[in-house]
Each structure stands twice: as C-alpha cells, then as structure tokens.
Amino acid sequence: MTTKRAPTIRSKLVLLVMACVVPASLMAVLLIAYDYQRAREQLLANSLDTARAMISVVDRDLASIESSLVALATSPYIKSGNFRAFYQQSQTVLKNQGSQHDMNIALLDITGKQYINTRRPFGSPLPTRNNFPGMRAIYETGRPVISDIFIGEVSKRPLLAVGVPVFDPGIRYNLNAGIFPERFERLLLQQKLPAGWIAAIFDGNGKIVARTRDMERYAGKMGTPEMVRHMKTATEDTFESVTYDGISVQTVFSRSSVSNWSLAIGIPTQSLHQELRETLFWLVLATVGLLICSLAAAWAIGGRIADSVNGLTGPALALGTGEKVDVPPLHLREADEVGASLMQASVMLQNAQHRANHDGLTGLANRTLFNEIVNQQLLLCERNQSELSILYIDLDGFKITNDKHGHETGDRLLRNVASRLKSGIRNSDVVARLGGDEFAIVMVGTDMKNAKITAEKLVQGVSEPYVFDGLSVSISASIGIATYPDSGVTSQALLHRADRAMYKAKGLGRRRVEAAPSA
C-alpha cells in the first residue's frame, strides 16, 4: 500500500493565499458589475430626462413661432391687401426674434400661391404651388399645423413649416414659417452633450429633422429602421442600435405629444463600457499584483517555517539514539517550543537510562550494567590475550550496623564504602553495587596477583572507621577474586566463582581476601 505524500507548508500557504485573494477578487468583480449596471441604468434614466427636457425646448420654440404667426395673421395689412407693408412687418418679426437666417415667413392661399416670402425680395416672382404637407389640414380644421420635414419650393432645401390660418372672416390664407433644420441643430448643440454622444430630432414620420453630427447629410432622411420601429411602438424607450455612421449606441428617445416629434440621444456603447473595461483592467492588474506579492510572501514564510520544522529533524533523530539533544534557536515560537520539549525529553531519557543502569543509593553501576561492561571487556581480553580480574566484595556484619545505628546510617555507610572502593582502584576499573551490601569490581588487564594486592588494600581501606556526625562506625569487608581466563570466561561464571571465593573468605574469618581456584 502506498501512502499519499502530505502537502508541504508552502503548498498550504499558497492555497490559503488563493483561497483569500481569488474569492475577494471575484466578489470585487461582482460588485463592480453590479455597480456598473446601476450606473448604466442611472445614466440611461438621466439621458431620458435630458431627451424629455430637450424635446420640450423644441416644443417651446415651435409654440413661440406659432404664437408669433398667430399674432402676425391678424395684421391689418393682409386684410387691406398691402402685402408690401406686411412683408416689412414679417421681416421685423423675424429680425426681432433673431431668426432671419434659419426661418422665413410666407403668405399663401389654398392653391399654394405665395404672396410674400421673406426669403425673396418683395415683388420678385414666387412659386404658385407649395409642397407644405400640412397646408390642406389648416383649411380643413382651421387650426395651426406643424409639418413634417419637406423640400421647400423656394429654398430647395429640407425644411419644416409651422402654418396658421388667416381669417377674413373665413380662412383666406395660411401664414407659414419655414424653418431650416439648423435652428434645431443649434438647440441640440446648446445642450452640450458629452463628446461622442449623438442627438437627433425626428418628425412624426420618423424623418431626421436635425442632428448633432453630419446634419446636412442626414436631414430629411428617414431614421434607421430600428429607430423608426421603436418610435412607432412607444412614446419613450431605451434600446441598442447602430447609427447611420455605423456607431453602436445605446439609444434613449422621448416623443412630444404636442408636435409628435421625437428626440433621441445616442450614447456610444464603447464609451458606456469604457469605464467598466478600465475598472476591470485595473482590478485584474491589482489582483495579479496582489497574488504575486502574496504568493511570494507565502513562499518565503513557508520556506522559513519549513526550515524551522526541518531543524527539529536532527535533534529528534539524536533523541532516538539516546544522545544528548541540543536544539539551536529556530526563530519560530512553536518550533522552539517543540525543540525545548525534545531537549527536556532527552534529559528525561538520559536520567531514565542512568536509573536503569545505576544504583540509586550509591550512583554506582548496577548488576545489569556491570555484566554488560564485563562481557565487553572479555571480548577485548579474548582478542588481546590479556587478563581480567573480578572482585566480589561483601560487607561483614552489615545487618548489625543497620540494626544498631538505624537504616539511614546504614545507607550512609554504604555510600561511603562505595566512595572508598572507587578511590581505591584505577580509573579504568569499574565498581558496581550488586545489591544489599554486595559490591563488585572489574579490573581490566589485571592478573590474580595484582588483583590480590588491590583487594588487600581495599579490605584495609574499607575497614577504616567512618565518622558520621560524631558517631564512629566500623565495618569490614570480605573479598573473593576470580580471574579470566583461569577462573572462567563469562561474566556470570567469573562472578559466580568470585562469589564462592568471597564466601570462603567469610568462612575463614571475614575481613580477608580469597582467590577462586582455576577452573
């Protein structure tokens, strides 16, 4: 079975960064899209308000022209047939309105015959028929009429007309104001729409009356089929279309209930989306920048954490081998804490190891460790053809000392005997407490003769009185000696032989040394 490798801290941090940055960016995109949608709707609503305001400006202009004509239609010069005077009066009205260039006044009868036309000097020949589309309606209804756009007989240019009846007392003439599209173009331009926006006025048939761009080219032409279709079905609407110039626009229009004319504003789709595109561009740039910085930071931080954690590997392995563990600062609190725990565990392990191999009272090696050491030394002796002696030491009458002076004094005596034994041998020799009042010493490279000399000295040393807080305590020791290879070749065999020799020493009167016989 294969185990899947766990992810690294770096990959986890990278995931964390992605988990933070990506949803935040998506949320930002959603908010921007929502905000854009609201701003767009607001802009279209505002543009529709502007279209309404602009068409009402057009309506007011037409109404003021109409009222001027109604007033002029009551001129006594018409009734008296003094057309020269009426011509002058009409010129004065135009002059007062500042409309000499974009408007003319003409007096016609039902046949279309013109009596005066301010576009021509008085008395010059005038057309005897007229194209004014609403003229018949004036005679039929007796009410003022605002025409759709048509080609003027005199100017031969697209123009519009406002016509009012002249009563005498029945309708005798109609008085028309012919208006050039430039007048409405001026009205459109006065609104100062943002650059790139297109505004246009359409008559009741959907023909272009005026336009803020290329008006000469398009005035009198039908609006685009899309525009005409929408104007026919609604009085106000918002829709997407393409202008004659091929520009994709968001169109809003409003139709006047007075003149039946419509005013449309076209907002180029590109400019409408431009801001969104720019905002999204910066957002993407910021997200990518943020991601790169965050990932770099995550990579660096992840690397540092990984280094700190990896720094624990060596100490952890050292702990397994029982070595003393020393963990240097890892510059990460959690790793430092684990390091401190490893060092503490190492101390505890070493203490436990020491306890397992040493006697708690005297600190000497215990029987287990002693056997281990002897067995190791025996291997060396075998290879080096050298000798080794074991001393088995038992205190004489220790029970009496215990009973007489108490267990505590007995412990103290055992500790002091241990130190005298240690100080009585070479550093390379090892002394152990086998249990109770029994000790053993292994002397490497020492034959029986020399072992005996040392043992004698030890019997002497141990027998010196001990003084504890003014109390003098005496004890002696009996020692049995066994030597490799003569007495045995294993630790157990040698100890056994030395033990037997020690018992022999006891039997022979204590406080003496006895050698084990050759095996």
Among 95, 399, 426, 457, binds ligand GTP (CB under 6 A): 399
- Does residue 414 touch ligand GTP according to CB under 6 A? yes
Q: Which is nearer to ligand GTP, 103 or 395 (CB)?
A: 395
- Does residue 359 touch ligand GTP according to CB under 6 A? no
* 437 tagged catalytic: yes
- Does residue 168 touch ligand GTP according to CB under 6 A? no
Q: Which is nearer to ligand GTP, 410 or 480 (CB)?
A: 410
- Does residue 484 touch ligand GTP according to CB under 6 A? no
Q: Which is nearer to ligand GTP, 95 or 399 (CB)?
A: 399
| Cβ neighbourhood burial of 514 (10 Å; 0-12, 13-18, 19+) | buried
Nearby residues of 77 by Cβ (< 8 Å), 6 or more positions away: 83, 85, 86, 89
Q: Which is nearer to ligand GTP, 45 or 471 (CB)?
A: 471
User: What is the CA angle 349-351-356, rounded to 5?
Assistant: 95
Q: Which is nearer to ligand GTP, 249 or 393 (CB)?
A: 393
Q: Tell the smallest beta-carbon distance from residue 3 to ligand GTP (Å).
A: 52
Q: Tell the smallest beta-carbon distance from residue 362 to ligand GTP (Å).
A: 9
Read off φ and ψ for residue 176, nearest 5 degrees. -115, 145
- Does residue 398 touch ligand GTP according to CB under 6 A? yes
Q: Tell the smallest beta-carbon distance from residue 372 to ligand GTP (Å).
A: 22
Q: Tell the smallest beta-carbon distance from residue 361 to ligand GTP (Å).
A: 6
String marking each residue 424-443 x if it binds ligand GTP according to CB under 6 A: ------------xx------
d(CA 462, CA 422): 11
Nearest Cα residue to 176 out of 129, 142, 208, 132: 132
Q: Is 239 helix (H, G, I), strand (E, B) or coil?
A: strand
Q: Give the nearest residue (CB) to ligand GTP.
A: 410
Nearest Cα residue to 99 out of 164, 175, 179: 179
- Does residue 480 touch ligand GTP according to CB under 6 A? no
Q: Tell the smallest beta-carbon distance from residue 416 to ligand GTP (Å).
A: 12
Q: Which is nearer to ligand GTP, 91 or 402 (CB)?
A: 402
As a residue count, the chain comes to: 519
Q: Which of residues 377-396 bind ligand GTP (CB under 6 A)?
A: 394-396
Nearest Cα residue to 476 out of 506, 443, 510: 510
Nearby residues of 105 by Cβ (< 8 Å), 6 or more positions away: 69, 72, 90, 93, 94, 116, 117, 118, 175, 176, 177, 178
- Does residue 397 touch ligand GTP according to CB under 6 A? yes
Q: Which is nearer to ligand GTP, 169 or 509 (CB)?
A: 509
Stretch that binds ligand GTP, among 184-192, 251-259, 300-308, 409-417 (CB under 6 A): 409-417
For the CA atoms of 147, 151, 153, 155, the dihedral, rounded to the nearest 10 degrees, stands at 110
CB 160 within 8 A of CB 149: yes
Of 61, 437, 486, 499, which residue is the catalytic one? 437
What residue type is assigned to position 305 of the chain?
I
For the CA atoms of 342, 345, 351, 354, the dihedral, rounded to the nearest 10 degrees, stands at -70
d(CA 387, CA 365): 22
Residues near ligand GTP (CB under 6 A) are 361, 394-399, 402, 407, 410-411, 414, 436-437
Active site residue ranges: 437
